[in-house]
Chains A and B, each alone.
Chain A
Amino acid sequence: MITVENLKKKFGDQVVLESINFSVNKGEVVCLVGASGSGKTTLLRCLNLLEEPSEGTLKIGDKKVEFGKQKLTKEDIKEIRQYSGMVFQSFNLFPHKTLMDNIIEAPITVQKRNKKEVLVEANEILEKVGLLEHKDKYPDALSGGQQQRAAIARSLMMHPEVLLFDEPTSALDPQLVREVLKVIEELAKEGQTMVIVTHEMNFARRIANRALFMDAGYILEEGPAEKVLTNPKEARTREFLALLEDE
């Protein structure tokens, strides 16, 4: 589903990602873990070209792009983005639209789908994330957990092959984390391919097939989530996990 080869990302002189290689298979859930500044969010953002990598190749779905040779065209970017949806740390719902209007916006304006049909699907998806009763509210009237579930629903409406999560629970009050993780776990069970940047280690151990531990722009360790996050090979990974345990 996703293949990344020799991906590099520089901001000016600063190298943020150093020769990244990894792949994600269809139906797989991959967690990216690591300290802040390790490059995991940047890597995730490279996958849908919110950041344009400096070098390397990215293949997602049937689309392959090469970076650093020539400038990406709008078409390239559009095609790459068709395959993925993104859930942000700070939700980024559209505050001037009701929940319903938030989630039907792109299917109608971008995909030009039939509104009736979209509404039917929107109702189902809102039901699934437990927000049907709030569909006419504005995001500002909802809790963080509800907003994040709505943001997930908004991404799902586009039927992405891969869902990318950028620390989906980091901005939430502790008591709201679970309701969001539950929705993600549900998606994992349904076989949705997902790449998740997270600090929730228990969650990652439970739902991820694989975990990638990132450190200073490299993937330092990679393997079954259970193993990498419980009994890692690398000293750095152990240190990192120990730090989280302390909290």
Chain B
Amino acid sequence: MFEFFSEIRWEYLYDFDLAIESIPFLLEGLRVTMIIAGFSMVFALIIGIIVGIARMSKLAIFRLPAKFYISFMRGTPLLVFVFILYYGLPVIGIEFESSIVAAIVGVSFNFAAYLAEVVRSAISSVPKGQWEAAETLQMSYFQTLRRIIIPQATRIAVPPTFNIFMDVLKGTSLASVITVQELLYSGRLIAGRTYDSMTMYITVAIIYWLVSIVIGAIQSRLEVRYNRYLAKG
């Protein structure tokens, strides 16, 4: 037991100088990560809302494709989907102009399925009486959805949506596999050159963590905003 510990070379645990030196290079990678994550969150949310509402439709023509889409995306690994996009599609003549675009498409479409489920559960959790009250006030389906249901569903959807946004952020790291030079890929380049994998990957991990703390802070502010109409205590 103690022998095991004595063999650990603690002095190599973390090389601050190397970490600080590599920050500018890593931030370049972070920029790409943020571009992929930012676009993916927006697209995933838009697609998720559309698919989520389609999933609840009474019409099978909307509901069934949405169901199929959600099932496929939730049932397959993101990495495999990205491979299909990036390595598979060129075989049939469809090529993305850059691997970043392929990454954005892959991440967006994959997480959209999870967001669609969030949208669906949030909308169904608004009490039926809200629909009925709006109906008796002669509001149309879309007026009700837009002015009564979605604002209430949004409050319910904020925490799970931000969980998914954090997964989107972390999911962008898979883009490194298709040679997108994002944060993880940048870390790998330095790790390969300096042979200090420990320092580099810890640094990379910390950067992801800091970004997700920011995402969490945005979540808290939104929660406060959307909860303001509830009585305190």
Contacts and interface: CB of A to CB of B under 8 A. Distances in A.
A110 B231 contact: no
Contacts of B231: 138, 140-141
Contact of A96 (B135, B138, B140, B152): B152
Interface stretch (B57-65, B110-118, B125-133): B125-133
Given A81-B135, A110-B143, A158-B137, 12 more contacts: A86-B136, A88-B133, A92-B130, A92-B133, A94-B130, A94-B133, A105-B137, A106-B138, A109-B139, A110-B137, A138-B231, A155-B136
A84 B151 CA distance: 26
B137 A95 contact: no
Contacts of A93: 133
B137 A82 contact: no
B4 interface: no
Interface in A159-192: none
Interface string B186-203: 000000000000000000
A65 interface: no
B118 to A, nearest CB: 18
Interface in B198-229: 229
**Interface size grouping (class) on chain A:** 20 to 34
Given A50-B132, A88-B133, A92-B130, A110 B139 contact: yes
Contacts of A97: 229
Given A94-B133, A96-B229, A78 B148 contact: no
A78 B143 CA distance: 14
Residue of A93, A96, A106, A141 ringed by the most chain B CB atoms within 10 A: A96
Contacts of B132: 50, 86, 88, 92
B148 A110 contact: no
Interface in B8-67: none
Nearest to A154: B137
Interface in B131-187: 132-133, 135-140, 143, 147-148, 151-152, 155
A38 B139 CA distance: 30
Interface string A127-149: 00000000000101100000000
26 contacts: A50-B132, A50-B135, A78-B138, A81-B136, A85-B137, A88-B133, A90-B129, A92-B127, A92-B129, A92-B130, A94-B133, A94-B152, A95-B230, A96-B152, A105-B137, A106-B137, A106-B138, A109-B143, A110-B137, A110-B138, A110-B139, A138-B230, A138-B231, A140-B230, A141-B231, A154-B137
Given A109-B143, A141-B231, A84 B136 contact: yes
Nearest to A106: B137
Q: Is the interface of B mostly helix, strand, loop or mixed?
A: helix
A33 B133 CA distance: 23
Contacts of A198: none
Contacts of A85: 136-137
Contacts of B136: 48, 50, 81, 84-86, 155
B152 A106 contact: no
A163 B167 CA distance: 50
B152 A95 contact: yes
Nearest to A160: B136
A96 B230 CA distance: 8
Q: Which 6 pairs across A and B sit closest by C-beta, in order of nearness?
A: A106-B137, A92-B133, A92-B129, A86-B136, A138-B229, A140-B231
B123 to A, nearest CB: 14
A77 to B, nearest CB: 9
B158 to A, nearest CB: 13
B179 to A, nearest CB: 46
Nearest to B154: A96
B74 to A, nearest CB: 30
B152 A105 contact: no
A155 B147 CA distance: 17
Contact of A158 (B138, B143, B152, B229): B138
Nearest to B150: A96
B148 A94 contact: yes
Contacts of B143: 109-110
A81 B138 contact: yes
